[in-house]
Each structure stands twice: as structure tokens, then as C-alpha cells.
Structure 1
Amino acid sequence: MRKLGLVAAATCALMSSAAIAKTTVIYAGHVITDVAQPAQGPSTVIVTDDRITSIAPGRVDAPADAEIVDLGDKTLLPGLIDLHVHLTGDPGGDYRSEAVEPDEWGVVVGEKNARITLRAGFTTVREAGSAQYTAFALRRGTAEGLIEGPRIVAAGPALAIIGGHGDVTGFREDIHAVLDQGYTCTGAVECAEKVRKASRAGADVIKITATGGVLSQQGRGLGAHFSNAEMESIAETAHSLGLKVMAHAHGARGIESAAAAGIDSIEHGTFADEAALKVMKAKGTYMVPTLMAFEGIRERLGKGIYTPTVEAKVRMTLNDVGKAMARAKALGVPIAFGTDAGVFEHGRNAHEFALLVEHGLTPREALASATTVAARLLSMENEIGRLAPGMSADMIAVSGDPLSDVTTLEKVDWVMTRGRIAG
């Protein structure tokens, strides 16, 4: 009798689960299921809870209890992926705010920016550096539907050398000690320890600053920071934990060393030369160009926003923006979409597509960089980046054909993430 009771209880639970499953039926005039394929004509996409269950040509009758979304003649396509954002910050902030604002303020700012980013069509983002737990809190909030925002793959604090880009700089030494988040490292053993610390804290990906940067108060150029042994230790330790490594890197030799060490993606890659790019090609290292970052920086030059140290570094880089990406394409280095949103206003992310095309990608290649290519870099190609039965219900709708005109992606009319309609 007890066994029968358990069977009955299990049956009731299954029936109850089936009874509360939500069905959404979406009608669209055009559907891009995979950017490698031509767009389909009028189609019906059916979503059950957070999964796509079918894609059929024409207009399929909807079940009686389904929610119906009629997009008319709009184009439905996979949700976009931005591999380099900073949700917890806005552009133009004074670096000294680190000593004033609590980490919790980053969650408040991040909630605002997560909503803006989602409504701009980005259903997955990789958070590329934040305070210890702010991005992790946002990640949980969007996953549980408590706040409106994209799926978040979060790094937490970046690993840096002492006094380098990513470390606290610009203050007195006693202030540095108070503000230090504990992720600088010297030597292969300590760097392995900090990777493990980041993993324990909840990082989905390890972020390192492999070279100097532009917007920090560290002013000693853009060359390599970590030693080869340190970067090899970081890559090997992260990979042993099932984590990938993303490396902020501008200077050619730092890019080359990071790629040779097994780092998975180079962020920015501003001064990558042929030698560095050949190593990236040989190792399968992705380039994430973040061209929009320099648009945002250019707009703020000469306005008293940046310190003289930063302005000098900015002016050193602007004439080279985009050139390395064109060389990367010619050599067959995979190019994935990332913007560095937070350096410019969140929500403008999609203008990166036009910049990618301006510097040599075709519209189809640019869209692939933010869908199938980005999904592969995240090792999530069976979850996001395409529309197919079983995939996460992450999709957007625009007017026009983004495969021929990427600027259509700058105005997104409708967004669904994990089966939830935004707005």
C-alpha cells in the first residue's frame, strides 16, 4: 500500500507540473534560426516554459491556454550575446569613488543596467569585472526572475599584478591596502591560488589583466604584465576547474604571451601584430575587439572626465582601434562580440555591429559573432545562440533584415529571455 501511495503521489506531482507548464506561441514574418542559414518566411515558434519546443512554417493553431505573441512582419532571431560588459558601473565615474561608494551600490546600478541591456536585445552577457559579489548577486537575481535582465556569466574581481591595470591605483599606499580586494598575485603559485579563490567565490570565468590598460591610473604603458609562468599557471589552474580565462590585453607581446599560455580570449587586442595573431590562430584563441569602448572614451576626451594620465594613454591608442581586428579576420582568428559597456552608456551595445562591419566583417559575420561564435566561446552552443527545439527560449524581434543591415539591431522591438517576455 505504501508503494502504491508513493506512485500515486509521484503521478499527482507530474500531473501538477504539466498543468502549470506555460505555453507561448510566437508568430513572426521572418525567422533566423541560425545566422549561417537563410532566413525563413512566416513561421510559428512554440515555447514551453523556458524552452523552444517547435519551429514550424506558416501559422500553426495555438492551444487554447497559450499566450499568443503576434510579431507581424518582424524578424525573429536568437537573443544577442555581449561577452564584455560591466553592469555594475556607468561611464565617466571618478576613480576615487572606489573609496567612497559601498559595493552594494554596484548592485543598484547593476539592476538598472541589466534591464536596459536586456531591452536592447542582449539576452546573455559576460560580466567582465566587478566587486567581489555584486555581479554574482545580479546573476542570481536575473536567473530567478527577481529582476529583469539577461543571463549573466560573471567573473567577479579581475586578477592583476600589484600596481597594474585591475589593481587599486592612484591612492596613497595605506589606502591601497584598505581597498585591496585580494586578487593581485606574484609568481605562479600565488596566481594559481587566486584562481582557486575566484572559483570558490563563485566565478563563472576568470578575468585577468594581461597588459596595462587605458582607464586606470596605472600609467606605465600597455605592455605585458604577468610573466609567462604566471599566465600559464592561471590558464592551467582555471582549465583544471572547468573555467575559461578572458584576458584584458592591449600590447602585442602581452597578447602573444597570453595566447601562448592557453588563455581563451583576448579582450580589446588593440595592438595585436602578425606574430601575436598567428599564435592566437594556432591556439584557437578568440578576439573580443570591444570597439564601442573607444567610441565612449573618444566622446569624453578633453572634458575633464579623465585624469591627465588616462588622457595620455587614450590618445596613444585611438589611431589603432579596429586595425588589429581586420588583421585577425585575415588570419582566421575567431572574432566574438563584446563591447565593454560601462565605459559607454549601457543600452548602446548594438552599435558595435556597425563598427565591426566598418572594420571588415560582413553583416552575417558580425551577427554570428554575437550568436553562434559567442555561444561557442562560452561553451554554451547547445543552449544559446540559435533557435531550435530544446534550446533556451532567448530571442528578439527587429524590423528589417539584420543579415544585410546590422543597424536594424540598434532598435529591438521585442525580447524574450529564458521564456520570459521583457517589458
Structure 2
Amino acid sequence: MRKSVRISGRMAAAAAIAAFFASPALADTTVIHAGSVIRSADAQASGPATITVTNGRIVAIEDGIQPVPEGATMVHLVDKTVLPGLIDLHVHLTGDPGGDFWKEAVEPEEWSVVVGAKNAQATARAGFTTVREAGSGQSSAFALRRGTAEGLIPGPRIIAAGPALSIVGGHGDTNGFRPEINEILDSGFNCTGVVQCAEKVRLASQNGADVIKITATGGVLSQQGRGLEAHFTSAEMKSIADTAHSLGLSVMAHAHGARGIQQAAEAGIDSIEHGTYLDKEAADAMIANGTVLIPTLMAFQGVTERLGQGIYTPVVEDKIRAVAESARVFMGRARDWGVPIAFGTDAGVFGHGRNAGEFRLMMGQGMSSREALASATTAAATVLGMEDEIGRLEPGYSADIIAVDGNPLLDATVLENVDWVMVRGRVME
């Protein structure tokens, strides 16, 4: 006798929990009856179709509503559009927005894993089946990565950086406390000079980093009032990039100031996160070196929403106001100049689960719905080097699948309301 589950909107919680924790290693088969399927952002939406998933992978996509084999579970989505799970290339799962900076001194790292578990579930429910965790404590993101991979924590696939590399006294370094407290809280990933920076990359790799995160320029939310230009020297950034690449790792660089962006691109850094003051010279360097922009427009919206509420220190509030105007236009300029762009939000600066708000902001700076969807699927998968694993619905690909009302190729804002999610073959509720 076949098992059948009809879904209208949300599944019953008990059924979803059971489906999630069923290990895909048990040769489980799920058959999805879809009203329409978008295999990738460069394709058109199909008519009714049947997707078969076995052991966490897509094994077939067939036109029409096909019979369900004995023993398979049926998911009934005949009034929905089914498409690849979304990818967010810049999140901070282990943190929530607006926390006082001094809490770093009183909250244990174990608490960040608890917070991260909550946020991982919210992120997956919002349709994001893969995320790049862009800086965390010593091992909290690695613990979450393992938890979601093994099905112990409901959440997305996690590509984790661990602690960011920064200069002493710069953005990403512990600051704002007495010197002896700064020293205690130091994560051990500050570096000065090409040799030490190479050493810290190797240390990050040894500790389990999937990607290297650096703070290439000053930042908005750190407690310094200084500028947003380059922190590392060009030689230091080249040492970081060369060492990472020799280990098979890419490098993502927090960067705001134009010259810092340019230096990072010329050094071989793989992606620029934020990119607020990008100018034509910096854009040309990114294009020449194949450096991808991750604009994180939701971050700027998120911090602006909290101005004047006593959440940020006066130093930080001044910096937020200073970047606000550029944040409304820089991605559109980058697109017009031909800079490659992929999707990332900086969730954690704003509330997790709101990630899809980025689509509306990207479209507000000139992207089409199709381009915006591609940025969060095929383009993002390519940034991760996982274009043969995620970002599309094809036989052999991971079963990372979502369902929505409407057609996101025509209006990507429908992705703000995701009705059904499967992560690596496990159904989320």
C-alpha cells in the first residue's frame, strides 16, 4: 500500500517532523506532484509535473502527474510552483540583530549554538536550503553545520567560515572593552604581515573552515568611528587569497570602501560582501578578476530600521546614516557596469527568516525577477563551487526544493512566502 500525504498550504506539524527526521539513508522515496516546475532560473515554468526523490536526491522529473510507486510518500502540490531551494551567501546564524556589543563578554559560545539552531530552522522555513555562514565563534557554526547535515537540527545546508580574519584593532577584531578583556575575547585570527596571515588561513582550514572570511575594510557595526577603507595591505590580502586557494578554499571579503574593494579584487579575493562605496575603478577590477559582489541590501535596511531606538551606540548610528544613501544605489550601478552579482543578505543584522526581502530590494535597483532568482540559485551555487549539486532541479542533484504560489520568474517577491520546503530530501514544516 502506498503512503499518501495531501498538502494544502502547511502540512500537519507531526507529519512534517516525522518526515524531517526520517534519514534519507533508508532508501526513502518521495513523489512530488507539482502544478508547475521551474528547473532553473534560465528555464521556463512547465505544466504539471512529477518529481521523484530517493535517498535525498532527485532521480526523475517527468511531465504530467505520474503514478506513485508502492511504499513511496506522495506530496500533493498541484496548485503550487515548485523550484530549486534558495541560497543565501551571507548569513550569521549564531547571532540575532541589535544585541548590545558587550554581550560578547558575558554569553558563552554554547548559547550561540542554541540561537543558531533557532535561526537555522527559521531560515530553512523561509525557503533557503543552503547558506554560507559568514563569521561566527570558534566552533559554533561548525556544530550547526554538522547538526543540520545529520538531521539532528532542522535547517539548511551550511557552508561555514568560522571566525573571520581581521587586522589588530580593525573591524572583526574584539574591541570596545578594556585591553585585558579584549585579549581574553580574541578569537586568535588577527594577523599582521604576509606570513602570519598565511598562517591564520592554514589554521582556519585546520579547524574546519569551508571558506575563509576576512574583514578587508572597516565596518559599520564595529565600535570604531574610523573610516571604511582598506584594513589589510594589498600584500596581506594576496597572501590570504593565495594560501586559501592552495588549500582549495575561496575567500569572501567584507568590504565597503572603493579602494579596499579594488585592492581585494586585485589580490584575488573571490567575493566582495556589501560593496557599499563601489566605484567604476573598483568595479573594473572586480570584472577583470572575476570577483563576485554579494550586496546584502537587507543588512542596510535592517540597521536603518533600528536607528534612534538606543540599540546602537552613537558611533555606530553615525556610520549607519553615512552609508544609507549609497546603499540605495550601489548595486544598480554595479549591475550596469557588468559586475557579477550573487545573493546574500547578512541575516543576523536583521531578523532571520526575512532573507527573501532581498529580492524586492535587488529589483528596486534594476534587476529583473529572473535575474534575482538566478542570483539566489545558479549564480550562488557557482560561487560555492556546487553548481553540479544545488541551484537547479535535475536528476542527480540534491533534493533541495521549495514551493510557492505564483511564478517567481515574473515576480520574485512571491518568494517572500514559501509554502513548502525540502532540504536534502527532508521535508521542513
How far 1:18 moved relative to its partner?
12
The answer for the alignment partner of 2:161 in structure 1 is 155
User: Unaligned regions of 5+ residues in structure 1, if any?
Assistant: 1-16
Which of residues 228, 247, 251 is equivalent to 2:253?
247
Question: Within 5 Å, which residues of 2 pair with 1:244-393?
Answer: 244-393=250-399
Does structure 1 retain, via aligned residues, the 8 Å contact 2:36–2:78?
no
- Give the Cα separation in 1 of the matches to 2:225 and 2:389: 41
Which of residues 46, 50, 56 is equivalent to 2:62?
56
Does structure 1 retain, via aligned residues, the 8 Å contact 2:24–2:425?
no
The answer for the alignment partner of 1:7 in structure 2 is none
Does structure 2 retain, via aligned residues, the 8 Å contact 1:265–1:288?
yes
Does structure 2 retain, via aligned residues, the 8 Å contact 1:289–1:322?
no
Question: Within 5 Å, which residues of 2 pair with 1:30-109?
Answer: 30-109=36-115
- Give the Cα separation in 2 of the matches to 1:362 and 1:199: 38
- Give the Cα separation in 1 of the matches to 2:333 and 2:350: 25
How far 1:275 moved relative to its partner?
0.1
**Is the alpha carbon distance of 1:82 and 1:19 closer, same or farther for their aligned partners in structure 2, counting shifts above 3 Å?**
closer
Which of residues 387, 397, 412 is equivalent to 1:406?
412
- Give the Cα separation in 2 of the matches to 1:195 and 1:322: 34
Other structure's SS at 2:78 match: coil
- Give the Cα separation in 1 of the matches to 2:328 and 2:161: 25
Deviation per CA, 1:341-368: give whole Å up to 9, x if none. Answer: 0000000000100000000110000000
Bigger radius of gyration: 1
Structural RMSD (CA): 1.2
**Is the alpha carbon distance of 1:66 and 1:310 closer, same or farther for their aligned partners in structure 2, counting shifts above 3 Å?**
same
Q: What letter corresponds to residue 58 of structure 2 in structure 1? A: I
The answer for the alignment partner of 2:179 in structure 1 is 173
How far 1:218 moved relative to its partner?
2.1
Does structure 2 retain, via aligned residues, the 8 Å contact 1:270–1:322?
no
Which of residues 217, 222, 231 is equivalent to 2:228?
222
The answer for the alignment partner of 1:127 in structure 2 is 133
Does structure 2 retain, via aligned residues, the 8 Å contact 1:83–1:338?
yes
How far 1:396 moved relative to its partner?
0.1
- Give the Cα separation in 2 of the matches to 1:421 and 1:20: 15
How much identity, in percent, do the aligned residues show?
68
Other structure's SS at 1:73 match: strand
The answer for the alignment partner of 2:424 in structure 1 is 418
Q: What letter corresponds to residue 119 of structure 1 in structure 2? A: R
The answer for the alignment partner of 1:195 in structure 2 is 201
Q: TM-score normalized by structure 1?
A: 0.95
- Give the Cα separation in 2 of the matches to 1:165 and 1:59: 54
- Give the Cα separation in 1 of the matches to 2:268 and 2:78: 47
- Give the Cα separation in 1 of the matches to 2:222 and 2:117: 24
* Counterpart check, 1:110 vs 2:110: no
**Is the alpha carbon distance of 1:349 and 1:19 closer, same or farther for their aligned partners in structure 2, counting shifts above 3 Å?**
closer
Does structure 1 retain, via aligned residues, the 8 Å contact 2:253–2:273?
yes
How far 1:325 moved relative to its partner?
1.1
